[in-house]
Structures are given as C-alpha cells and as structure tokens.
Structure 1
Amino acid sequence: MEVSVILPSYNRYPLNLLSLYALENQTFDLSEMEVILIDDASTDQTEDLKEYQAPFQFIYLKTTQNIGLAAARNLGVKMSNGKVVVFLDAEMIVDPNYIHNRYRHHLDKENVVVIGGKRSGKLYTYLFPKYGKKQINELTHLVSTKSVVKKRIEKSIKKKVDSKKVRAIIKKLKHPVQLLNKEDINNFQQLDLFTVKKDDELLAYLCGDLDTSPLAWWACLGNLSMTRSFFDSLEGYEEAFRGWGPEDAEFAYRLYKAGAKFVSEPALIRYHQEHEKHKSLSEEDDRNWLLFMEKHPDLSVCIRDLSFIIMKMDYAFMDNILRESLTLKEEYNGKYKKFEHSLIMLFKEIRILKSQNKPISHLMQSSGIETDAITKQLIFEERDEIESYGKYMNLIELFDLLTKI
C-alpha cells in the first residue's frame, strides 16, 4: 500500500460522507490507497459510514470514548499500511489530483512534509441553523452575486430567496438543509461557485521562503503529508493536549526541529465545508497553549501571542525578530540567556493574563521580573549590549514593547 489517508472525525456527518465522495474521484491508483476514518465517539450519524462502500480500501473505527484529535490521528496511523500518510480534516473536499500531487513529493526524500498552497476556500454544502454572523454574511454575498447559489437554495428550501432574507431563512431552519450532493462533488469545477475564497496570508508572505524562514512550521497545520517512517521518528502527535488546542502546531514545531523540508504545493486545491461553530473554546485553547510553551520554551512558539498586543499578525516583524534571535545565539554562543528568557517569560504572562480574562498590562510586575532587582538589572544590561551591536533592532523593539506594557 502506497498511501494511507487518515480522516479523524467527530460529529461531522454528513460532511464527512461528501469528503469520502471526493476521495473516490482521485486520479491516483485507488488500489494503492486506503482511507482510515476514526470516528471519535461521535453522537451523530457518522456510524452509518460502517456500511460505506468505497472503490478504495476503507477502514472505519469508532472509539468507545472521545480521545481527541491528536490521539485519533495517532490511532489512524497505527492502523495504516501506507508508505505515505496524508492527514485530512473530516470536512475537507479535495480536488481529483490531490493525492497524486502530494505523493509525488515523497518518492525520493524522507523528510519532506507537503502542505497546501496558499489558495483554499470555504465551501457551503449545507445550510445549518446555527451558522454564525460571518457565515451568514458570506452566504448573503454568494446569493447576491451568484445566481446558481440562489437557485440551489430556493430548490432546497422550496421558497423564493433574496439576499435580504438569508439571515431570516437560516434562523428559521429546524434542521440542516443539503445544498450539494455526490453529483456536485463529482463535478469539482462547479464547487467554486459555492465557495468563498480564503487566501493564506502566512504562505503569501513566505512565498518561496519555506526553506529558511523560522516561521515555516507555522504554515504546517492540519492537512499535511509525509512518509510513515518520518512520522514514526517523531512518535506522533502529543496526546497531552485535551480539547481544543495546538496539537497540530506542536507537531509542526517538532517537524521543524527534526529538519523537515516543508513544501507548499500550489496545485493542491481543497475546500473546507462550513459547519456550525463551537461555542467559545478559548479556555481550552489558552490552557493548551500554555502547555505548549512549557514543553517548548522557544521564542518562535511564544511570539505568536504578539497578536494579542498589536492586534494583527505582522509576519515580517516576527520573521525578522526570530532571524535576529537565531543569529544572536549563533554569533555569541548563547551568551544572552537572561535576555532571551525574559522575552519568553513576558509572552507566557500574556497568555496567563488572557486565560484569566485580565487586562494585558504590567507584564514586568506580574512575571516577577520587576521585583527581582538583580535579575532585572542583568537583563537590561544584556539588552543594552545587544543594542550596541546595531543589528538586532527588531529584537530590541520587541523587548521594549513588552517591558513597557
């Protein structure tokens, strides 16, 4: 077996069925492809997929209790037989050449990790009663700009629709309403009509710089592929993350540290089927990110929380900071450890304050740096010495920003 597609799923029926239909259309030799669906103790109709008849080898396994995304992925790989593993979210619709365009990158290099290109989309295959404001606005735009969407909704709900009524229609739904079926999935080009484009800003920034940028692993989330042997060498996803959290980011970080060569394949086209959003999961997310920071006290992990201060992901600023940090360590053999550690402490404090719903302020005090006069003095002496070199100005700008909050 050449390829194993790992499809973890929790309460994603019938979206996961449409995802399977898309996999049926792959140009890759289906006799050399298996799909392993891990039903993570779903309470919906996902169990119906036990009877799914596929043109490829299909394995369905339902866990007796919810084990989480990381453990579900690991279980899927453990059951797999393929030389290459492809991880796919349960609600993803992929183009017919998707598996082929991944597989060809793994033929001669062990440490290649293939991620998607910067082009993807949000696909509306169903109408759900609990769509959020942003989703309703996107549907409204589709109805007002694409007559085929308007007509399909009218056919599905059996009443006239205009853009002003979309919100009211959604709110009155008693159950999900199907817009697209297997025939539509088979006509992949048509799906673009029901899609809201979504560009990956990070990949757009990185362009062809995945080989050198310390931000490269940030782009490696969720839907990726690698050889089974490379996956095994990292011992899989970290199962200590429970609930919503960065298990994919933590795995990507370890891939980066293990010398992975990240490849962005522009020919990969994938659509994320829109579904009802969970209630706020920020508490789980904060807890898991703190665990991530504890496991890997690295500036490239912590600096993501800069967005809580500057309110926008300034990738160029972050990239320059991390490049300067790496150069500083290399040129001075880790001399400025107190300075570097203080940045991590301050970022960790940002996440702690956020998790406690407290204002992000007085970081020096709450982190304990302010009350330790000797340590504070040493940190600022290192800061001034680094500034005197005249080539670490982004790093100094970050330090000054954090210490003044």
Structure 2
Amino acid sequence: MKKFSFVIPTYNSKVMLKYSLEALNNQLGYTSSDYEVILVDDGSVDDTWDYIKGTNRNYDLQYIYLEREPCSSRARARNFGWKSAQGEIVVFVDADIIVKPTHLSELDRLYTYEKDIVVQGTRLMLPKGAVIDFDNLFQIYNFNRKKLTLIDIAYFVYDFLSYNICTVRTPGILFSTCNSAVPRKYLEATNGFDENYIGWGIEDMDLGCRLHALKDVKFVVSSRLECLHQFHKHSANLSEELKRNRTIFENKYPNAAGNLPITSEIDIWNVLWIPDDEYLERFAGKQTKKKNKIVLEFRNREKFNQLKEDILQMSDREELDVEVYDYCEDTDLDIWITLLGVRKSTPKYFPVSRRIGKLLPEERSKFLSSLKEAQY
C-alpha cells in the first residue's frame, strides 16, 4: 500500500497542470512505490489528457474524466479523487500548484511524529509571466519580506496570530486544499467535501470545520510545506460563486468565526483576504485581560530540551502570553508546540525566516492591489 496519494482536480488548465505534474517527479528519496497521483478532470474540453500524458516518470498516475454536469464542482472532483486513492495520507494540491522536491519528506516528518493530524501548508504567488525552469525556480521565487506580492495572504494571518494554529478559536476555517494533507480515515469519517458548494471557494473551509470537530484530530501548520502558485486570472463568475458558497457556509456554521460579526461584506472573509488587526484578534478569541508577554528565542539546538521544559512550565501559567521565535527551523519544535494543544497560555510559535511584521501604508496598498489581479 502506498503511503501518499496526491489528489488534483483540474478543468481546462492543461498548461499549468503539466508543470504541476512535472514537479511531482522530483520528490527527493521517493519512488512510485511510495506515492501516486489521482488526477480528476472535471469535464475539460482542451484535450488535457493528450497534453499531459507521459509526464509522470517517477510515479503512478490515475486519470479520471468526469463529464461536465450542472453538479460539477471542485468538491465533487476531489471526492472522486480521494475515494479512488490507495494511500493512507491524501495530499491535496490544485492544478496550478508547483510543489518543492521536499514536499513528501516534510509530510513524512510530520506524520512520523504524529499520525492523527491534518496538515496545512503555505504558498508563494508566482507573478504573471514567470518562467518555469525547475533548475532554479525555487531559488528565484522564495519567501522575501521585500517582495510582498509573492507572499500569500495566509502568511499575514499566521504572522499576526501564530503558526501554532491552536491559538485560533476555529482552525478549520483556515483549512485550504491548495496545499494540505489529510489521513484518508478522516475523510471517510466526514464523508469528504460537501458537494452543495458549486463553483469557486469555501468547500475546503467547510471540510476543515468538520475535520476539527472530530475527536483526536489535530491541525498542524507547516511553514516548511511551501509551494508555488502559478499566476492566472480570476474566473468571470468568481464573485457570484463566492457569494453563493459563503451563504451556504454561514448558514451551516453561524458561529465558525467566533465573535466576529457576519452581517455584511465586512465579515469572516476579511480574516483571509484583508488581514486587519482587530478582526484577527477577535478571530483568535483573545482575552481582554492583559497578560505579561514572555519571548523565548530558540537559537541553540543543544538547549532544545531545556527550551521545551521552559515552554511547558510557562504555558501552564494563565497570566503569561508566551511567544516562541525559532531561529533554527530544522527541529520538531513546530509540531511539538502545536501538539501541546490549548493551554492556560497557549504558546505562539513563529519561524523567524517567515516573519513579516507591520506593513507600512504604502506596502499595504501595493499588496492589496496585487490581490485584484491573481486568482486565489
């Protein structure tokens, strides 16, 4: 039995898809005995199969073609995909995603440490006209605080709240299938995606909320599970589709965003699309009682065990606000902190290489303008 199954839905995206499939050949240390790819074509009419066939050199590829119907959707396509998968871990990526050669090794690290987790990765946004050259792609396009237009909005959320998702009241709302992984048994337990979500958006947030409701399931955000998103335009009907799907979500989960007002266009979507300090604080469910801030910096690997002891002791004190800054980023400190769960003072975790900090007004304006061009 294979350990990992990539599930990729696609619709008339053959050029981007081929780059995505090509990247999956390059998983360092893994062969076709370790992973497979389930490609679900949701009724494409651009000769997708003829264009991409033979791309898979190092893995088994299963191609599923679904006739286009009124009920066609990303949710339906992904359900067909994971139900056809052999792997115990289902890895969701989109047809516009290019994964790093370390994608599977990072997932292996996390699932070796703890098997009952849902993993959420991150992504950088390739600019229009980016040349896809696998020899230097990840060297040219990497996380850089000075290149804000490359940085996905989720980085801002985690940078403000924490990469320890236990600090968030409803972590399922941050679940995104552009780059994530879920044990198959939990997809079976939730029946997968709700196929009432037709068109673009929010079907993954819905699944995230149901996964979070399962007993013993833990959410983990990995800053090392980073991928690239290929530029493409918004779909013409995105606004209408998003509005419809958002209504479905709000009716199903009226309290999903904690104490955020969900009464207008300034609602839970602000948390993901336009990071605002006040919204993010309320989304995290912060206490009004002022706490004493404690900052712990991890710079010396030899002091790893001592650091863990300090975190355990401090996180058991309700009057403290514990923040951990990881300068090493090559140990299991990230997942160890997350698996502590919710504590009297749930420790915040920040990988230093992914810090953004407060935006200047001109930086914020430039970043928000870039959102209008690219399809998320």
The bucket for the TM-score relative to the shorter chain is 0.5 to 0.7
Matched, 1:41 2:46: no
User: Taking every aligned residue pair, what percent have the same amino acid on both sides?
Assistant: 30
Q: 1:115 to 1:321 in 2, by over 3 A?
A: closer
Give, in whole Å, the separation in 1 of the partners of 2:98 and 2:57: 16
**Is there any run of 5+ residues in structure 1 with no aligned partner, and where?**
128-178, 326-405
Give, in whole Å, the separation in 1 of the partners of 2:81 and 2:118: 18
Give, in whole Å, the separation in 2 of the partners of 1:94 and 1:307: 36
Alpha-carbon distance, 1:187 to partner: 3.3
Normalising by structure 1, what TM-score? 0.60
Partner of 1:246: 202
In proportion to residue count, which structure has more strand? 2
> Secondary structure at the residue paired with 1:81?
coil
Partner of 2:93: 88
Decide which moves more: 18-27 or 293-302: 293-302
Equivalent residue letter for 1:201: F
Give, in whole Å, the separation in 1 of the partners of 2:233 and 2:126: 13
Give, in whole Å, the separation in 1 of the partners of 2:135 and 2:3: 24
Partner of 2:136: 187
Give, in whole Å, the separation in 1 of the partners of 2:138 and 2:150: 14
Matched, 1:268 2:217: no
Q: Work out whether residues 7 and 87 of structure 1, in 8 Å CA contact, stay in contact via their aligned partners in 2.
A: yes
Q: Work out whether residues 106 and 226 of structure 1, in 8 Å CA contact, stay in contact via their aligned partners in 2.
A: no
Q: What is the correspondence of 1:153-192 to structure 2 with a 5 Å cutoff?
A: 180-181=131-132, 184-192=133-141
Q: 1:309 to 1:245 in 2, by over 3 A?
A: closer
Partner of 1:258: 214
Decide which moves more: 198-207 or 55-64: 198-207
Q: What is the correspondence of 1:293-308 to structure 2 with a 5 Å cutoff?
A: 293-300=250-257, 303=260, 305=262, 308=265
Alpha-carbon distance, 1:23 to partner: 0.8
In proportion to residue count, which structure has more helix? 1
Q: Work out whether residues 124 and 142 of structure 2, in 8 Å CA contact, stay in contact via their aligned partners in 1.
A: no
Q: 2:161 aligns with which of 198, 201, 206?
A: 206
Equivalent residue letter for 1:298: N
Q: 1:284 aligns with which of 241, 250, 269?
A: 241
Q: 1:299 to 1:35 in 2, by over 3 A?
A: closer
Matched, 1:231 2:180: no
Q: 1:189 to 1:240 in 2, by over 3 A?
A: closer
Give, in whole Å, the separation in 2 of the partners of 1:284 and 1:293: 14
**Is there any run of 5+ residues in structure 2 with no aligned partner, and where?**
288-376
Give, in whole Å, the separation in 2 of the partners of 1:206 and 1:42: 39
Q: Work out whether residues 14 and 45 of structure 1, in 8 Å CA contact, stay in contact via their aligned partners in 2.
A: no
Equivalent residue letter for 2:94: D
Q: 1:19 to 1:308 in 2, by over 3 A?
A: same
> Secondary structure at the residue paired with 1:5?
strand
Q: Work out whether residues 112 and 261 of structure 1, in 8 Å CA contact, stay in contact via their aligned partners in 2.
A: yes
Q: 1:123 aligns with which of 101, 108, 126?
A: 126
Give, in whole Å, the separation in 2 of the partners of 1:84 and 1:28: 17
Alpha-carbon distance, 1:300 to partner: 1.7
Alpha-carbon distance, 1:42 to partner: 1.0
Q: 1:228 to 1:186 in 2, by over 3 A?
A: farther
Q: 1:38 to 1:304 in 2, by over 3 A?
A: farther
> Secondary structure at the residue paired with 1:114?
strand
Q: Work out whether residues 201 and 242 of structure 2, in 8 Å CA contact, stay in contact via their aligned partners in 1.
A: yes
Equivalent residue letter for 2:245: N
> Secondary structure at the residue paired with 2:134?
helix
Q: Deviations over 1:259-297 (max 9, x none)?
A: 532211121221100013212422221122111122223
> Secondary structure at the residue paired with 1:204?
helix
Give, in whole Å, the separation in 2 of the partners of 1:220 and 1:73: 15
Q: 1:316 to 1:218 in 2, by over 3 A?
A: farther
Partner of 2:118: 113
Equivalent residue letter for 2:199: G
Partner of 1:29: 30
Q: Work out whether residues 26 and 96 of structure 1, in 8 Å CA contact, stay in contact via their aligned partners in 2.
A: yes
> Secondary structure at the residue paired with 2:211?
helix
Partner of 1:77: 82
Alpha-carbon distance, 1:91 to partner: 0.8
Alpha-carbon distance, 1:319 to partner: 4.2
Q: 2:103 aligns with which of 98, 105, 108?
A: 98
Partner of 2:285: 323
CA RMSD of aligned residues (A): 2.8
Q: Work out whether residues 303 and 318 of structure 1, in 8 Å CA contact, stay in contact via their aligned partners in 2.
A: no
Q: 2:150 aligns with which of 193, 197, 206?
A: 197
Q: 1:249 to 1:29 in 2, by over 3 A?
A: same
Alpha-carbon distance, 1:44 to partner: 1.7
Q: Work out whether residues 4 and 33 of structure 1, in 8 Å CA contact, stay in contact via their aligned partners in 2.
A: yes
Larger Rg computed on CA atoms: 1
Give, in whole Å, the separation in 1 of the partners of 2:214 and 2:231: 34
How many residues align? The count is 269
